[in-house]
A and B are shown apart, each in its own frame.
Chain A
């Protein structure tokens, strides 16, 4: 396939096939070939194919870097355009890093067509390579005032997009945007800007006031799209809501949808004004379009209050019954639970009602959310103490009717609730009235058809039940009955012992033995109940998820210190498990065999109590009285015994939640009456239970006293919890990386890396190598010429780079990130001219790792493949190899090198000490393939880990710097270098660049600098320039590191 036209055509066809769903990743290399065609026709197709099928995982993508750079700088604007477009689809972090500078240059291209594209691409680049944001931002800001409206709007687009994620960094742009907003006639730009302001206003309240005037002018037009950016202006909000109502009532589905959507946005800020339209929204629930129903549901979520919760949920329940699609029904179910449980059950005034709602929900067929219901049941039962009795009775009923729930294997989603039911019944078995019956229900053979984890819970909780029954019987002296129940257990348990589920089997056989033992004791007429019940002693306390975090670490407590010194190897083995055991004793005691005699148990419990009393972290089991839940006022209303057998299809014995609604109404009515009474007879105080509520709550009519006062948050927090509530951001948020303060001046370290892989250091001049080539190679002369030319080119480049450095210095911007050291390639294999350059960078995440990026460049005319890099590890520094490979194995380089191509691979090294410089010997082996065949070759090299490569450029502010110096625990050392002729600025640049320092402060010919090692050593320098000399005073935590660093510096400086 020599003809590029044929190739391009084939790639074009492949693209079509790709769209039809075929995998064409094998053709990636051909696509690159077509991309690099000089003819626009083919290039275009190549880029199209690339943008369609390349992604971050495509390994050949690295090969395109140079091609893309070439196209970006092409004189033909369409070449550039097509490259930019393609790039937008497959930009990777590496590409972003390498090309950021080029794209930035394009942002001030003469053609608006290119500028526009470049600006938009920058957003992609920012996402992939956040470091580029700060250097590029000034130019981006410039583009806001670009003469071309397209470019302008592109810039607005990008900035809005950035600001949406991290608005506070963009506050300083507000005046500029304000100007744009008042002057622009372009509606689309206006929308963007107003959205941006919507994000900014919460941060700067003054802005809101200023915005009102222009906004009210625009409001009619932008109603829908803007409701997110609405200022706090109640009149306009009212207007909006009115308009939205018209929209929602409209027959057009799209408008209805949008109306609801906008409504939900207003709801967040002005719930009151939306709540009045409840009727309308409930009506939307009946809509036949699912999207609309879902939006309406969203709205309901925000609209509930204590007053209307029951009503809304009741309506939703009706919908649940009616709903046909399972997805929608599941959505309804989750919404009901969400609505009820939102902000810690804030709106639930009657938990009995809630439990019965949950129980009713279990009747849903084929829902996937059984576990959700189960979780809610558990949550409520554990956290709301007052409800336990009721919950237990309900759960017992559920267990009794388990056959209804679990009858169909297809509905196994719902059988999750049995998990909760079994646990609740077991754990709070003291509240159970007919424990015998429940136990029998749990022992039914049918249970074995349930999923394993549920059975396991069954088995465990059977014993709890059994224990409480046993105790009951023994206390009332019914020995016969006690033995009977033991017999029942022994008879039925074997069915679980045979279970295929490991957990069930293990628990069951363990418990079976236990009960057999109990039976023996029972026959001997020994009272056992006490001991059995002791297995499950102790109450479960709810603990808030953040409780541990909120406890301040008491002074003098070092959490990292060893509690016990780790046992030395010489000590006997059995010491260790013992200590662990002691710590966890209490937790284990539940599962332990009763062989432990009671005294021992009691003694331990006593010891633990004392321990707890002294332990500030332990949450005391007796919460302070005012936090206790109030007694249930409506206990007498609980219709536990109201068994509604006449209703078919319903689980018998379940009280309908509707009854609660009625009850609740009654209760409220009563409360109100009493309130009125109270007003009349103010002297009469605290007679009934209801009065207690009244005394606790304010008198406003709005407020409805809840049946159970639940103060979950305070209850579940340890007493000395700190009030600070730091909500941690999601560390995985890709946009977090873009949370960068843009108003700070550019720091030295943030300059975009200019492409400069070669010869930054002049350790060896290329000329000295050239003769070597001549000597050793037997290649035709032509090639040598070429090679020489290359070298000359490099020389030019070097000059250019020097210029760049000087320019940068003028801007006080110093390059540091890249520290490329030319590696000497010697030996007889230079004819391949496979040049290797590398760069060592500290790994920020790991204090004992550095990453070495090696750039391989194939200067020969042969194809290089199967490259493998191996390094002779030293004691201190080791190459990180994949698990299982020995120290003699090399690491394969993940690419092949066609002639003239360079590529980069990264290798990670672990090290222990960083105070000394290191040199590692290594070999690169590879296969050379050319026309004659292939040969195996080797290339030796040395990796030099200088101390400076362990430093990470860290900016430091002068006050922090001063504090550091004051602290006094730094070692000091100094050097002096004579014969320095370069300017001070240049000198600082050199130190920054080669040794990874940043300038803290500079006064005349004196400067302080700072850096930090990957292991956290602080290094401070004071650099003074005299006539012809430079003196450097250094301070560092580690004296060896400091002296090594200074030696390295001396070497660098003595060269200039």
Chain B
């Protein structure tokens, strides 16, 4: 169930291509500030095909969405582990990555950069990990609204807005604080 307990699971990408890519893309949060362009939607689903989170940056009717989700989940689940993380789908490209039992999938435009999108996905996982502490699928099921808040803090309207892990998590924690105090205040009379 655990996923992303070690960053090395992602390190293969940089490790193997290090000669070409150089050190420019280090995963240090303070360096990365602005990443990819438009993402159309993000889906999280389990290996059994159960949807865990969906976020759309384009507006579509519900029926259409459902159809798309079904289609995409099927496409990605049927792919071999060893194949690349990119699939052409209609006029979009799907970039996905599997962390433990959970698939993270982004749909991007044709001209967008796949590598950056992978990085976005990974950064999101890092954020979740940092917020929940050793995040697992159950965290996302039980605190799905938190997962959404984190995503909103990270990506806005399909654009990455905050790449610093520290400040993104801080923003969430700050607003949680706000929530907590309000909740305490709310709950007091009840007890």
Interface string of A576-600 (1 = CB under 8 A from B): 0000000000000000000000000
Which of B114, B144, B174 sits near A258, CB closer than 8 Å? Answer: B114
Which residues of B from 68 to 113 have beta carbons under 8 Å from A?
Answer: 69, 80, 82-88, 111, 113
The reply to whether the CB of A192 lies closer than 8 angstroms to some CB of chain B is yes
The reply to whether the CB of A116 lies closer than 8 angstroms to some CB of chain B is yes
Interface window among A285-293, A483-491, A1039-1047 = A285-293
A149 to B30 alpha-carbon distance, docked (Å): 10
A113 to B175 alpha-carbon distance, docked (Å): 13
Task: Determine the chain B residues whose CB is within 8 A of the CB of A154 once the complex forms.
Answer: 34, 159, 161
Contacts across chains A and B counted by CB atoms under 8 Å: 185
Give 6 A-B contacts (CB < 8 Å), ordered by A residue: A45-B145, A55-B60, A55-B61, A154-B159, A164-B111, A288-B80
The reply to whether the CB of A294 lies closer than 8 angstroms to some CB of chain B is yes
User: B20 touching A291 by the CB < 8 A rule?
Assistant: no
User: B37 touching A39 by the CB < 8 A rule?
Assistant: no
User: B13 touching A254 by the CB < 8 A rule?
Assistant: yes
The reply to whether the CB of A316 lies closer than 8 angstroms to some CB of chain B is no
User: A188 touching B60 by the CB < 8 A rule?
Assistant: no
How many chain A residues have a CB neighbour from B under 8 Å? 78
The reply to whether the CB of A156 lies closer than 8 angstroms to some CB of chain B is yes
A584 to B22 alpha-carbon distance, docked (Å): 70
The reply to whether the CB of B33 lies closer than 8 angstroms to some CB of chain A is yes
Min CB–CB distance A23 → chain B (angstroms): 6
Given that A19-B144, A88-B157, A150-B162 are contacting pairs, would A188 and B149 also be in contact in the complex, using a CB cutoff of 8 Å? no
Task: Determine the chain B residues whose CB is within 8 A of the CB of A121 once the complex forms.
Answer: 156-157
User: B115 touching A258 by the CB < 8 A rule?
Assistant: yes
Min CB–CB distance A1036 → chain B (angstroms): 44
Task: Determine the chain B residues whose CB is within 8 A of the CB of A777 once the complex forms.
Answer: none
Interface string of A151-190 (1 = CB under 8 A from B): 0111011101100100000000000000000000011110
User: B57 touching A89 by the CB < 8 A rule?
Assistant: yes
User: A149 touching B33 by the CB < 8 A rule?
Assistant: yes
User: A225 touching B34 by the CB < 8 A rule?
Assistant: no
User: A89 touching B13 by the CB < 8 A rule?
Assistant: no
A942 to B156 alpha-carbon distance, docked (Å): 45
The reply to whether the CB of A1014 lies closer than 8 angstroms to some CB of chain B is no
Interface majority SS on B: helix, strand, loop or mixed? mixed
Given contacts A164-B37, A290-B87, 8 further A-B contacts (CB under 8 A): A25-B62, A48-B149, A78-B178, A158-B159, A187-B24, A225-B116, A254-B118, A289-B84
A525 to B25 alpha-carbon distance, docked (Å): 90
Which 7 residue pairs of A and B lie closest in terms of their CB atoms, listed nearest first? A153-B34, A88-B157, A253-B84, A221-B24, A55-B59, A221-B22, A289-B83
User: A188 touching B21 by the CB < 8 A rule?
Assistant: no
How many chain B residues have a CB neighbour from A under 8 Å? 67
The CB with the most chain A CB atoms within 10 A, among B156, B171, B179, is that of B156
User: B51 touching A21 by the CB < 8 A rule?
Assistant: yes
Min CB–CB distance A281 → chain B (angstroms): 16
Task: Determine the chain B residues whose CB is within 8 A of the CB of A699 once the complex forms.
Answer: none
User: A85 touching B152 by the CB < 8 A rule?
Assistant: yes
Task: Determine the chain B residues whose CB is within 8 A of the CB of A88 once the complex forms.
Answer: 57, 156-157
Task: Determine the chain B residues whose CB is within 8 A of the CB of A56 once the complex forms.
Answer: 59
The reply to whether the CB of B2 lies closer than 8 angstroms to some CB of chain A is no
What is the interface of chain B, defined by CB distance below 8 A to chain A? 12-13, 16-17, 20-25, 31-35, 37-38, 51-57, 59-62, 66, 69, 80, 82-88, 111, 113-116, 118, 144-145, 148-149, 152-153, 156-157, 159-164, 167, 171, 174-175, 178-179, 182-183, 186
Task: Determine the chain B residues whose CB is within 8 A of the CB of A48 once the complex forms.
Answer: 145, 148-149, 152
The reply to whether the CB of A887 lies closer than 8 angstroms to some CB of chain B is no
User: A123 touching B51 by the CB < 8 A rule?
Assistant: no
The reply to whether the CB of A497 lies closer than 8 angstroms to some CB of chain B is no
User: B85 touching A223 by the CB < 8 A rule?
Assistant: no
Task: Determine the chain B residues whose CB is within 8 A of the CB of A243 once the complex forms.
Answer: 20
User: A44 touching B38 by the CB < 8 A rule?
Assistant: no
Min CB–CB distance B146 → chain A (angstroms): 10
Which residues of A from 265 to 296 have beta carbons under 8 Å from B?
Answer: 288-292, 294
The reply to whether the CB of A635 lies closer than 8 angstroms to some CB of chain B is no
Task: Determine the chain A residues whose CB is within 8 A of the CB of B159 once the complex forms.
Answer: 120, 123, 154, 157-158, 161
Task: Determine the chain A residues whose CB is within 8 A of the CB of B182 once the complex forms.
Answer: 39-41
User: B113 touching A225 by the CB < 8 A rule?
Assistant: yes
User: A157 touching B157 by the CB < 8 A rule?
Assistant: no
The reply to whether the CB of A84 lies closer than 8 angstroms to some CB of chain B is yes
